[in-house]
A and B are shown apart, each in its own frame.
Chain A
Amino acid sequence: MAVPDTVAGTPSAATRTPAPAPRRRPGGRAAAYWLYLLPGAALFILVIGVPLVGTGYLSLTRWSGVGDPTFVGWDNYQRLLSDEVFWASFRNTVAMIVAMVVVPTLLGLLLASVLFDVIGRRFRPRTAAALRAAFYLPQVLPVVVAGIVWGWILRPDGAFNSLLDAVGLGALRHDWLGDPDTALPAVMAVMIWVQIGYPVVVFMAALQRVDPELYEAAEVDGANWRHRFRAITLPQIRPETFVVALTCTIAALKVFGPIYALTRGGPENATNVPSYFAYYTFFKKLQVGYGSAISTVLTVIIVVVAVAFIAVQARTERRDRGF
């Protein structure tokens, strides 16, 4: 490994003299490097490792948070299987994945491509940058603050109903977050609003990496926007699409703040999600064992999803490079 860097001298001198130095280093100093890992590893074990194992253990107990936990084996997990709220919360997670991953990624691809390929090149790039900033702005807002503002907008006497009145659609006035039938779609709409800026910004940055000559050549050949989108944009930014899909899926599985601020899981659990359900079980119902079981199931699902994502990506990469 050191050889290419030391070819200055004659070949024999280069291989003979500097070679022992780099070989000695990894062996002799490995112990020194472990020292650098020590503080990080100790903190990691204390703040993540031990609590994680603790939650796993507590999920096998019944405990109110005071006194000693009572070991009950798999009881909590059996109770989960027949708990309607638990299943509802995971059904709502699917809705969150639609609102936080599927729609933002698809819309984000479309918007990024239009902003970059049409508006950025046919108008001034500053126009595209200004529009991008508008889409990104909700991402800057603390998500709980966003939830509180939207909670007010969607109230029966809030701004959205007034807006409907103002445009003559007053008949559609509704208690958007208070009705179990409309609460989930309303929360989904808010999450799309919150989330959309992230893929737009990542994809636009990714497109800057693509050789502009590709687009110019395709255009000279008469390829329209749709051709360019399918033949250039999509394949070129696949790595970023993958990262966005993974990070947004994990965020959707973990979503807590917006639900807390908008609906507290209500009405009638119509918008409950696993992480709010776990929080509520821990700190409002004081059923620490049951809350731990919910958290443990959520953890396992997240780990499986993450590992599956990464495995799929590794396989695609190998296939692309392959043969």
Chain B
Amino acid sequence: MAVTITEVPLRRRVRDRHHRGVRRWVVLALVTVGALVMLVPFAFMLLNAFKSPGDYSSGGPLSWPTEFYTWGLRTYWSEVNFPLKLWNSALIAGSVAVLGVVVSLLNAYALGIGRVRGRLWIVGLFLLANMLPQEALIYPLYYVAKEIGLYNTRLSVIIIFTVIQSAFGTYLLASVLGTFPRALLEAAALDGAGTWTVLWRVVFPHLRPTLAVLLIFFFIWTWNEFLIPLVMLIDNQTQTIPVALASLQGDRLMDAPTTNAGALISLVPAILFFLIFQRTLARGITAGAEK
């Protein structure tokens, strides 16, 4: 193929380039239209979150709001006790992120650096565990949580997701540590450092960027989780933001503007993470994709 391409005569090439000059604008226009279509639901949300119910029923979903009406937003905020939901979500996702990274690091240290026997099988097991459908675990977890008094506690969800997320973390970190420079370890061992010192003084600083990415991933994944929190957390004191919004679906309180207001404030924390961690995430997604 390379040969035929180099034989393309010069004149044809020049015309091609001219052609592309026009066509690139068409391509840009098409992709921009696609991107705008992606944003339409967000626009609908914004447009309807600040309408009064009367305004909505007379003007419909597409009309411009006649006033900046925040009652829907405020009812949702207070009826749902949104600050508490925000705290629940943050507490669960934050604890899981930190604990999950610590457990992943310890596991991966034994597997990637310690190279314990059967490590390939163990890593494979962790990878499969991360792919399991949560339905395959949920009933026994629900039953046992009830028996031992952990049902409807945030702790139960924290423990479960620490394990599920660290299954992925272990897989990722073990393959990263598989290529850890042995010379560093040997130098530390010659200095008489034990495995614990090596972990925190040599391995941990080396892994810090990857651990930061994992921390953010764990946080966002846990924040967005639904099935296990839905089953485990049943009252207002413990529920997370997505569960609170979903359990109000079809409720009398939730007319269209209130639904949109609720969705909008549930979206705000997610957008904030996105903006704060965008760079780290872009790097992390590639790190994840490469191995």
- The answer to whether the Cβ of A253 comes within 8 Å of any Cβ in the partner chain is yes
Complex: A35 Cα to B113 Cα, angstroms: 13
- Known: A55-B137, A141-B270. Contact between A135 and B263, CB under 8 A? no
**A150 contact set on B, CB distance < 8 A:** 41
- Known: A2-B186, A201-B282, A222-B16. Contact between A135 and B38, CB under 8 A? yes
* Cross-chain contact of A275 among B133, B182, B273 (Cβ < 8 A): B133
Q: Are A202 and B289 in contact (CB under 8 A)?
A: yes
Interface-lining segment among A72-80, A97-105, A156-164: A156-164
Q: Are A43 and B62 in contact (CB under 8 A)?
A: no
Residue among B45, B138, B274 with max Cβ neighbours from chain A (10 Å): B138
B268 to chain A, nearest CB (A): 11
In terms of DSSP, what is the predominant structure of the interface of chain A?
helix
- The answer to whether the Cβ of A172 comes within 8 Å of any Cβ in the partner chain is no
Q: Are B31 and A278 in contact (CB under 8 A)?
A: no
B221 to chain A, nearest CB (A): 11
* Cross-chain contact of B135 among A33, A135, A279 (Cβ < 8 A): A279
Q: Are A260 and B226 in contact (CB under 8 A)?
A: yes
- The answer to whether the Cβ of A126 comes within 8 Å of any Cβ in the partner chain is no
- The answer to whether the Cβ of B266 comes within 8 Å of any Cβ in the partner chain is yes
Q: Are B137 and A48 in contact (CB under 8 A)?
A: yes
**B253 contact set on A, CB distance < 8 A:** none
Complex: A283 Cα to B234 Cα, angstroms: 13
- Known: A114-B27, A221-B8, A256-B226. Contact between A47 and B249, CB under 8 A? no
**A294 contact set on B, CB distance < 8 A:** 135
Number of A-B contacts (CB under 8 A): 294
* Cross-chain contact of A55 among B113, B139, B159 (Cβ < 8 A): B139
Complex: A201 Cα to B24 Cα, angstroms: 21
Q: Are A134 and B138 in contact (CB under 8 A)?
A: no
* Cross-chain contact of B24 among A21, A122, A283, A296 (Cβ < 8 A): A122
Q: Are A278 and B245 in contact (CB under 8 A)?
A: no
Chain A contact patch, size range:
35 or more
Q: Which residues between 193 and 227 of chain A lie within 8 Å of chain B, taking CB atoms?
A: 193, 196-197, 201-202, 205-206, 208-209, 218, 221-225, 227
* Cross-chain contact of A142 among B13, B140, B256, B266 (Cβ < 8 A): B266
- The answer to whether the Cβ of A137 comes within 8 Å of any Cβ in the partner chain is yes
- The answer to whether the Cβ of B109 comes within 8 Å of any Cβ in the partner chain is yes
**B107 contact set on A, CB distance < 8 A:** 36-37, 40-41
Q: Which residues between 133 and 153 of chain B lie within 8 Å of chain A, taking CB atoms?
A: 133-141, 143-144
Q: Are B133 and A295 in contact (CB under 8 A)?
A: yes
- The answer to whether the Cβ of A144 comes within 8 Å of any Cβ in the partner chain is yes
- The answer to whether the Cβ of A282 comes within 8 Å of any Cβ in the partner chain is yes
Q: Are A302 and B140 in contact (CB under 8 A)?
A: no
- The answer to whether the Cβ of B224 comes within 8 Å of any Cβ in the partner chain is yes
Q: Are B285 and A111 in contact (CB under 8 A)?
A: no
Q: Are A47 and B134 in contact (CB under 8 A)?
A: no
Interface-lining segment among B66-74, B76-84, B114-122: B114-122
B269 to chain A, nearest CB (A): 9
**B8 contact set on A, CB distance < 8 A:** 221-222
- The answer to whether the Cβ of A240 comes within 8 Å of any Cβ in the partner chain is yes
B237 to chain A, nearest CB (A): 20
Q: Which residues between 108 and 163 of chain A lie within 8 Å of chain B, taking CB atoms?
A: 111, 114-115, 118-119, 122-123, 127, 131, 134-135, 137-138, 140-146, 148-153, 157-159, 162-163
- Known: A26-B115, A39-B103. Contact between A134 and B190, CB under 8 A? no
**B282 contact set on A, CB distance < 8 A:** 201, 205
Q: Are B129 and A48 in contact (CB under 8 A)?
A: yes
Q: Which of chain A's residues has its CB closest to B125's CB? A: A44
* Cross-chain contact of A206 among B166, B273, B289 (Cβ < 8 A): B289
Q: Which residues between 260 and 281 of chain B lie within 8 Å of chain A, taking CB atoms?
A: 260, 262-263, 266-267, 270-271, 273-274
Q: Are B27 and A142 in contact (CB under 8 A)?
A: no
Q: Are B270 and A142 in contact (CB under 8 A)?
A: yes
Q: Are B140 and A32 in contact (CB under 8 A)?
A: no
Complex: A143 Cα to B226 Cα, angstroms: 9
Q: Are B36 and A202 in contact (CB under 8 A)?
A: no
**A209 contact set on B, CB distance < 8 A:** 286
- The answer to whether the Cβ of B12 comes within 8 Å of any Cβ in the partner chain is yes
Q: Are B45 and A36 in contact (CB under 8 A)?
A: no
Beyond contacts A1-B182, A148-B246: 14 other A-B pairs, Cβ-Cβ < 8 A, are: A5-B186, A37-B107, A40-B103, A52-B137, A55-B136, A137-B38, A142-B242, A202-B285, A221-B2, A222-B5, A261-B249, A282-B138, A296-B136, A306-B128
29 A-B pairs within 8 Å (CB atoms) are namely A5-B182, A29-B114, A36-B107, A36-B199, A37-B110, A37-B114, A39-B103, A43-B163, A44-B167, A48-B163, A51-B141, A55-B139, A55-B140, A119-B27, A131-B35, A141-B267, A142-B241, A144-B245, A149-B41, A193-B41, A218-B5, A222-B6, A224-B20, A231-B1, A275-B227, A279-B231, A282-B138, A282-B139, A295-B135
6 tightest CB-CB pairs across the interface, nearest first? A33-B114, A54-B140, A134-B35, A51-B140, A159-B61, A222-B8
